[in-house]
Structure 1
Amino acid sequence: MLEVKNLQKQFDGRQILADVNLTVKDGEILSIVGPSGAGKTTLLRCITGLETPDAGGFLVDGQPFNPQGTDTSDAVIGVVFQDFNLFPHFTVLENITLAPQMVLKQSKEEATQAGLKLLDQLGLTGKGDLYPYQLSGGQKQRVAIARALAMNPKILCYDEPTSALDPNLRDNVADLLMSLKAQGMTQLVVTHDMDFAEKIADEMYRVEPKS
Structure 2
Amino acid sequence: MLKLTNITKSFDGKTILDNLNLEVKDNSILSIVGPSGAGKTTLLRCIAGLERVDSGTFSLNNQPFDPYDESVKERVIGVVFQDFNLFPHLSVMENISLAPKLVLKQDQTTVQNNVNNLLEQLGLTSLKNQYPFELSGGQKQRVAIARALAMQPQILCYDEPTSALDPSLRDTVAQVILDLKKTGITQIVITHDPDFAKKIADQLLEVKPLND
TM-score by length of 2: 0.89
Alignment of 1:33-182 (within 5 A): 33-106=33-106, 110-182=110-182
What is the CA deviation profile of residues 153-206 of structure 1, one whole-angstrom value per residue up to 9, with x for unaligned ones? 001110011211223322222222112223332110011111111111111112
What is the CA deviation profile of residues 25-78 of structure 1, one whole-angstrom value per residue up to 9, with x for unaligned ones? 111110011121011000000000111100012111111111121333112110
| Distance in 1 of aligned mates of 2:163 and 2:152 | 25
Alignment of 1:20-31 (within 5 A): 20-31=20-31
| Distance in 2 of aligned mates of 1:13 and 1:198 | 34
How far the C-alpha of 1:106 sits from its partner, in A, is 4.1
How far the C-alpha of 1:121 sits from its partner, in A, is 4.5
User: Aligned AA for 1:187?
Assistant: Q
Q: Contact between 1:22 and 1:205, CA under 8 Å: does it hold in 2?
A: no
User: Aligned AA for 2:141?
Assistant: Q
Structure 2 unaligned segments of length 5 or more: list them.
none
Q: Contact between 2:121 and 2:176, CA under 8 Å: does it hold in 1?
A: no
| Distance in 2 of aligned mates of 1:169 and 1:114 | 21
How far the C-alpha of 1:80 sits from its partner, in A, is 0.4
Q: Contact between 2:16 and 2:39, CA under 8 Å: does it hold in 1?
A: yes
| Distance in 1 of aligned mates of 2:66 and 2:13 | 24
| Distance in 1 of aligned mates of 2:42 and 2:92 | 29
Structure 1 unaligned segments of length 5 or more: list them.
none
Percent sequence identity over matched residues? 62
User: Aligned AA for 2:142?
Assistant: R
Change (3 A) 1:95 1:10: same
What is the CA deviation profile of residues 3-36 of structure 1, one whole-angstrom value per residue up to 9, with x for unaligned ones? 1111100111111100111112111110011121
How far the C-alpha of 1:115 sits from its partner, in A, is 2.8
TM-score by length of 1: 0.89
Change (3 A) 1:115 1:168: closer
1:5 aligns to 2:5 (yes or no): yes
Q: Contact between 2:161 and 2:191, CA under 8 Å: does it hold in 1?
A: yes
User: Aligned AA for 1:80?
Assistant: V
| Distance in 2 of aligned mates of 1:177 and 1:19 | 29
| Distance in 2 of aligned mates of 1:17 and 1:195 | 25
Q: Contact between 2:8 and 2:16, CA under 8 Å: does it hold in 1?
A: yes
User: Aligned AA for 1:47?
Assistant: I
What value does the CA root-mean-square deviation take over the aligned residues? 2.0
Look up the match of 1:199. 199
| Distance in 1 of aligned mates of 2:148 and 2:63 | 23
- State the SS of the aligned residue for 2:59: strand
| Distance in 1 of aligned mates of 2:150 and 2:2 | 20
